């Protein structure tokens, strides 16, 4: 039996045990066991037993959004409010131990929302269930970083550091540098813009540090040494992120106003259901999904059955029906998306979105959520 199963067995047993003098010791023992298993689960361990347990949730819907944040900022409260899934919320830290999926239905799209355990400083090194949480976050199309508004901006910078240390870059685009290691010929360096942060010399030094002596490098942007290193390393993930300050019912209007004006930020209160609509609007924008409504000749468009396209895709990408055995392209279509039926036209197109939305400015390759390699 895995640790999660043991925890759930004990929780069930506690629930069905009557509280009285006779069961006092038994309950005490169960609670001690529960605490022990929870601690084991949250311990950084290399044992395979707890590795990834409870985190392998299938992708579904048109897009995936991961909720990350410190413990008790209100992630589960938010999931329970905005989807029909209930995720336990409580005032103690690490209430959530696994990945809990819910679905946001919005503008005809199904957006998978993942509630995750809280993460803390040292998460990237495996503290808490940090590694597993970060691994799930990497698979998302957008990250919602939920922050406790009463704690100001401390949480945000700590989490950015954690994610940064494992190569996740939030609200940044891939540096526009062409880099190609070669078999010989030394290092050829060029730039199409004036560089203020890097020079040929520095680029060479950095490359030598990585034992690269032959390569072609072309800066098409005034990038920093860190950004150049990101390109050499190649395994970075560039993700759009919304900073969501929750619990604004607990802070002054002035502070609400200040936080609301920060870039990529939304202020909400799950407790008082404040500003949740606006958060969904922003999320939609950051996901950069576009609805296309179709119609059959001579009929009115069906606004309940949209085809969802990712940013960067266009109408030509909509497949004209698959054969029965064929099915959707791999990694491609998700539940809310579909090919055209015979006789169906892309008639009433209703673009709900400008294509130059904020967040990750790198256009997503392909359609139906086929992801570009860099967002892997």
Ligand X SMILES: Nc1nc2c(ncn2[C@@H]2O[C@H](COP(=O)(O)OP(=O)(O)OP(=O)(O)O)[C@@H](O)[C@H]2O)c(=O)[nH]1
> What are the residues binding Mg ion (CB under 5 A)?
75-76, 95-96
Farthest CA pair distance, the chain: 83
Binding mask 47-76 for ligand X (x = CB under 6 A): ----------------------x-xxxxxx
Which residue is at the shortest CB distance from ligand X?
Answer: 118
Q: How far is the CB of 95 from ligand X (least distance, A)?
A: 4
The answer to whether 83 contacts ligand X (rule: CB under 6 A) is no
Q: How many CA atoms lie within 13 A of 327 on its CB side?
A: 6
Q: Does 246 bind K ion (CB under 5 A)?
A: no
Q: Give the residue, chosen from 96, 112, 155, 364, that forms a contact with ligand X under the rule CB under 6 A.
A: 96
Instruction: List, in sequence order, every beta strand (DSSP E) within 187-264.
Output: 187-191, 215-219, 237-239, 241-246
For residues 331 and 372, give the distance between their C-alpha atoms in angstroms, rounded to a whole number.
Answer: 11
C-alpha torsion 159→164→167→171, nearest 10:
90
The answer to the question of residue 95 lying near K ion (CB under 5 A) is: yes
Q: 161 and 202 in contact (C-beta within 8 Å)?
A: no
- Which listed option, ligand X, K ion, Mg ion, none, makes contact with residue 321 (CB within 5 to 8 Å by class)? none
Among positions 131, 247, 311, 334, the unique one binding ligand X when judged by CB under 6 A: 247
| Closer Cβ to ligand X, 207 or 270, answer by number | 270
Please classify residue 13 by burial: count the beta carbons closer than 10 Å to its beta carbon, then call 0-12 exposed, 13-18 middle and 19+ buried: middle
Q: Which is nearer to Mg ion, 76 or 290 (CB)?
A: 76
User: Contact between 214 and K ion (CB under 5 A)?
Assistant: no
Please report whether residue 80 would count as binding K ion according to CB under 5 A.
no
Is the Cβ–Cβ distance between 130 and 162 less than 8 Å? yes
How many residues touch ligand X under the rule CB under 6 A: the total is: 24
Using CA atoms of 74, 64, 375, 118 in order, give the dihedral in degrees to the nearest 10: 20
CB of 182 to ligand X, least distance (A): 48
Nearest to 179 by CA among 227, 223, 217: 217
Q: Which stretch binds K ion (CB under 5 A): 51-59, 64-72, 153-161, 224-232?
A: 64-72
Q: Does 118 interact with ligand X (rule: CB under 6 A)? A: yes
Q: Which residue is nearest to K ion (CB)?
A: 95
Q: Which stretch binds ligand X (CB under 6 A): 4-12, 83-91, 134-142, 200-208?
A: 83-91
163 closest CA partner among 266, 287, 42, 69 = 69
Instruction: Decide: is 252 part of the binding site for ligand X (CB under 6 A).
Output: no
Q: Taking CB under 5 A as the rule, does residue 72 contact K ion?
A: yes
Q: Which is nearer to Mg ion, 77 or 290 (CB)?
A: 77
Residues 6+ apart with CB under 8 A from 311: 288, 289, 290, 353, 355, 357, 363, 364
Dist CA 266 CA 44 (whole Å)? 32
Tell me if 98 contacts ligand X by CB under 6 A: no
**Distance in Å, CB of 89 to Mg ion, minimum:** 6
- Cα dist. 167→21, 123, 124, 344 in Å? 54, 14, 10, 44
d(CA 375, CA 174): 10
State the nearest-atom distance from the C-beta of 326 to ligand X, in Å: 42
Q: Which is nearer to K ion, 72 or 83 (CB)?
A: 72
Per CB under 5 A, residues contacting K ion are: 72, 95
Q: Write out the residues near ligand X by the rule CB under 6 A.
A: 69, 71-77, 89-91, 93-96, 117-118, 246-247, 249-250, 269-271
């Amino acid at each position: 039996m895995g640790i999660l199963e043991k925890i759930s067995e004990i929780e069930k047993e506690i629930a069905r045990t009557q509280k009285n003098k006779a069961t006092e010791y038994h309950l005490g023992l169960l609670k001690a066991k529960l605490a022990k298993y929870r601690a084991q689960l949250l311990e950084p361990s290399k044992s395979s037993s707890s590795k990834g347990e409870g985190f392998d949730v299938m992708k579904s819907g048109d897009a995936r959004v991961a909720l990350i944040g410190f413990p008790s900022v209100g992630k589960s409260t938010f999931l329970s409010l905005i989807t029909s899934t209930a995720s336990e919320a409580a005032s103690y830290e690490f209430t959530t131990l696994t990945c809990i999926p819910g679905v946001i239905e919005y503008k005809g799209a199904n957006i998978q929302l993942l509630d995750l355990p809280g993460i803390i400083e040292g998460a990237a090194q495996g503290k808490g269930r940090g590694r597993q949480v970060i691994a799930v976050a990497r698979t998302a199309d957008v990250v919602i970083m939920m922050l406790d508004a009463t704690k100001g901006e401390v949480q945000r910078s700590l989490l950015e550091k954690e994610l940064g240390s494992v190569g996740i870059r939030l609200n940044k685009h891939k540096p526009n540098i062409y880099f190609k290691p070669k078999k010989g010929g030394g290092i050829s360096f060029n730039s199409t813009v004036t560089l203020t942060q890097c020079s040929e010399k520095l680029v060479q030094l950095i490359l030598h540090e990585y034992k690269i002596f032959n390569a072609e490098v072309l800066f098409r942007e005034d990038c920093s040494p860190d950004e150049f290193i990101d390109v050499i390393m190649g395994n970075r993930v560039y993700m759009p992120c919304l900073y969501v300050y929750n619990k604004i019912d607990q802070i002054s209007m002035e502070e609400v106003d200040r936080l609301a004006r920060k870039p990529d930020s939304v202020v909400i209160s799950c407790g008082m259901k404040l500003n949740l609509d606006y958060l969904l609007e922003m999320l939609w924008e950051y996901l950069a999904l576009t609805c296309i409504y179709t119609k059959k000749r001579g009929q009115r468009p069906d606004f309940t059955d949209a085809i969802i396209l990712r940013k960067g895709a266009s109408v030509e990408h909509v497949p004209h029906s698959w054969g029965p055995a064929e099915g959707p392209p791999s990694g491609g279509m998700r539940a809310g998306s579909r090919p055209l039926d015979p006789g169906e036209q892309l008639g009433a197109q209703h673009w709900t979105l400008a294509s130059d939305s904020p967040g990750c400015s790198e256009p997503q390759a392909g359609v139906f959520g086929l992801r570009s390699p860099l967002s892997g």
